């Protein structure tokens, strides 16, 4: 994890021999150091050519359990483009073709500006494999009746593990990454970089505000009593991001996901120029709109019908399909071709 306090530093490439992860697993136990040189790739779960990301399933040599490695090409940092990172003597340019004034080349800049953001999940569960697999997506319009009849029982039955969230809130992990920490139990929250952000590149800024109050799962639980909490997150989050990253609130996209990726209330802060995952209308709900809706009607989110996307390998897909709210289709898991060893 990158230390967000050094957002202006030039990243030096890590040694290929010592790509180590030192963290806690979802049960609070210690996880051994991992080295990518020991990773054995077995299957490509997803390869997104638009976002330049790939998820590879495999294992670590001499270790049991499944591992996932997510690789993402980093965005260009404007300060590097203004310096000599891409245009230094170490840069290699190979020609594809040249025709009159037009030329097409492949560029190999120095390694310090050519890093790849890497996320490792180990040991990965079946839920992780499902989450990062290529699969068909459907849209469901969830009425309040469907929420109480199908969605809520599914959430309660699944018992989604939130220990990693509690580790952050209780000060056990990721404390060096925290950008803002309001310790009020009722209206407090922690603001820190999302796992999808390297904590450095301003062009892809992505932070997460995780509320301290437990028992709030999603938009469905919000009412007028939570307005002070929501406004505090909005105001303090904007102020801190302006101070630390020099981004005004007019350039921030602040929103909820529904359904969320984990059922402990959290809010996303992203740079408006960054096309972050899940910013489309079937997924994102602007914080300003949520506040306005609740001010008009205290129990708005207990009465509203909310759309959400659902993937074929998600367990909740089976719930809605079995009850006749999604037409049965043949599964399309995507590219799970084994990698040649």
User: From CA 168, how far away is CA 177, in angstroms rounded?
Assistant: 10
Q: Give the tokens for residue 195.
A: 């796992």
Here the tokens at position 113 are 């500006």
Distance of CA 154 to the CA centre of its chain: 23
- Whether 266 sits among the annotated catalytic residues: the reply is yes
Candidates 180, 226, 266, 268; catalytic one = 266
**Opening angle at CA 207, ends 249 and 170, nearest 5:** 125
Report the distance separating Cα 15 and Cα 90, nearest Å. 19
Show the tokens assigned to 172.
């056990």
Cis ω on the peptide bond leading into residue 323 (within 30° of 0)? Answer: no
Token pair for residue 259?
């359904």
**Distances in whole angstroms, Cα of residue 49 to Cα of each of 46, 72, 109, 131, 138:** 10, 10, 21, 18, 21
The residue ranges of DSSP E strands in the chain, in sequence order, are 39-48, 53-60, 67-73, 92-99, 102-108, 116-121, 137-142, 180-182, 189-193, 206-211, 252-257, 266-271, 284-286, 306-311
Long-range contacts of 14-23 (CB under 8 A, 24+ apart): 19/118, 21/120, 21/122, 23/173
Structure tokens at 10: 């030039």
Active site residues per annotation: 266
């Amino acid at each position: 994890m990158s230390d967000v306090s050094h957002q202006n530093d030039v990243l030096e490439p890590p040694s290929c021999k010592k790509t180590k992860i030192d963290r806690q697993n979802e049960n609070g136990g210690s996880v051994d150091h991992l080295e990518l040189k020991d990773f054995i790739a077995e299957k490509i779960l997803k390869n997104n050519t638009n976002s330049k990301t790939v998820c590879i399933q495999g294992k670590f040599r001499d270790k049991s359990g499944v591992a996932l490695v997510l690789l993402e090409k980093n965005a260009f940092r404007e300060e590097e483009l203004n310096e000599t990172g891409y245009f230094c003597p170490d840069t290699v340019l190979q020609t594809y073709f040249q025709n009159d004034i037009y030329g097409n080349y492949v560029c190999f800049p120095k390694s310090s500006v050519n890093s790849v953001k890497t996320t490792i999940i180990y040991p990965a569960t079946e839920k992780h494999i499902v989450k990062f697999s290529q699969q068909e997506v459907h849209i469901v319009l969830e009425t309040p009746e469907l929420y109480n009849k199908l969605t809520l029982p599914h959430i309660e039955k699944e018992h989604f593990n939130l220990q990693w969230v509690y580790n952050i809130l209780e000060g056990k992990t990721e404390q060096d990454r925290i950008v803002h920490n309001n310790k009020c139990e009722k209206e407090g929250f922690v603001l820190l970089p999302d796992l999808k952000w390297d904590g450095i590149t301003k062009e892809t800024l992505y932070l997460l505000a995780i509320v301290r109050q437990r028992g709030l799962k999603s938009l469905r639980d919000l009412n007028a009593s939570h307005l002070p909490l929501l406004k505090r997150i909005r105001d303090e989050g904007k102020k801190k991001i302006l101070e630390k990253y020099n981004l005004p609130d007019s350039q921030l996209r602040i929103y909820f996901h529904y359904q969320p990726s984990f059922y402990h209330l959290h809010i996303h802060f992203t740079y408006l120029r960054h096309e972050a995952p899940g910013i489309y209308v079937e997924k994102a709900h602007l914080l300003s709109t949520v506040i306005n809706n609740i001010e008009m009607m205290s129990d708005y989110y207990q009465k509203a019908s909310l759309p959400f996307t659902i993937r074929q390998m998600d367990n909740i897909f089976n719930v809605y399909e079995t009850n006749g709210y999604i037409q049965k289709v043949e599964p399309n898991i995507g590219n799970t071709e084994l990698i040649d060893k």
